[in-house]
Amino acid sequence: MPELLQFLFSGVTVGAVYALVALGFTIIYNASDVVNFAQGEFVMLGGMLTFVCHAAGLPLPLAALIAIAATSAIGVLMNKLAIEPARGAPVVSLIIITIGASIFIRGGAQLLFGKQIHSFPAFSGDTPLRIGGATILPQSLWVIGGAVVVFIGLWLFFTRTLTGRAVLATSNNRLAAQLVGINTNFVMTLSFALSAGIGALAGVLVTPITLTSYDVGLALALKGFAAAMLGGMGNPKGALAGGIMLGLLESLTAGYLSSQYKDAAAFVVILLVLFFMPQGLFGQKSVDRV
């Protein structure tokens, strides 16, 4: 039993990171119908910039804050310079633009930060906690807690605040939202800032465990994308559930079947889910209107 518990702990930790990336995908998708493949680079930037600031002598919390703010600013820039000018382009073009942005950011990070692997100290030490015969790192609790807080925060934001509702309205019907006076450009800017900030936060939280380097973003983006699709694109609950499920699947496959094929299990399950539920687990059915 302790073994299973151990796999669950690691699965939920990884899953929480995927969920944060998937939430980032969801926010931007809802505001703009764009799947932002550069989402993983935000995670990389969060970890990397925190490392740089921390190494420069700033205290860790301040370093993390600067990293998150700077990444949000990069997200906003990306929206203004690359996404807004291409509004209405076909899906394939948008995929290429965001993958181009992802490659661009990765290339920039490689130039600025080099190819080394970096890290910074865990927030609450490295002494593992023992629970039911299994161990969990305090930093894992930070990651899981971070995902929960972000999810609740987003839920409150989207249901309880006027701005949040404006974002939801825009995702339902952009034109109608404009007609009732919602500034949809602001909604886009906000979504990219929020999404990049959440990605950066994920990077800050997880880097002490997984370390970071300029090229960690792509794999995270693919997993986050898969998690968001698994849950049903555009649904925050789906993103959370999809992320956690993906993390659990990986860690259980790695534990009981084969660590080499842990990624395979995830994608096989996604293929199966999409075969039977083409809109993902929590997605809505769409009816062709003709």
Residues that bind other proteins (CB under 8 A): 35, 82, 85-86, 89, 91-97, 99-108, 110-111, 218, 222, 225-226, 229, 233, 260-261, 263-264, 267-268, 270-271, 274-275, 278-280, 287-288, 290
CB 21 within 8 A of CB 40: yes
CB of 225 to other proteins, least distance (A): 6
Closest C-alpha among 83, 106, 103, 73 to residue 35: 83
Residue 227, token pair as written in the block: 């998690």
Closest C-alpha among 50, 72, 73 to residue 62: 50
Residue whose CB is less far from other proteins, 122 or 270 = 270
Residue whose CB is less far from other proteins, 166 or 226 = 226
Residue whose CB is less far from other proteins, 52 or 83 = 83
Report CA torsion sign: 132, 135, 140, 142: positive
CB 21 within 8 A of CB 221: yes
Residue whose CB is less far from other proteins, 96 or 211 = 96
What is the residue type of 228? Answer: A
Residue whose CB is less far from other proteins, 58 or 95 = 95
CB of 98 to other proteins, least distance (A): 9
CB of 137 to other proteins, least distance (A): 28
CB of 100 to other proteins, least distance (A): 3
CB of 290 to other proteins, least distance (A): 5
| End-to-end CA, the chain | 55
Residue whose CB is less far from other proteins, 100 or 121 = 100
Residue whose token pair is 């023992």: 130
Instruction: Report how far residue 263's alpha carbon sits from residue 254's, in angstroms, rounded to the nearest whole number.
Output: 9
CB of 260 to other proteins, least distance (A): 4
Provide CB contacts within 8 A for 111, sequence distance 6+.
Answer: none
Instruction: Report how far residue 153's alpha carbon sits from residue 167's, in angstroms, rounded to the nearest whole number.
Output: 15
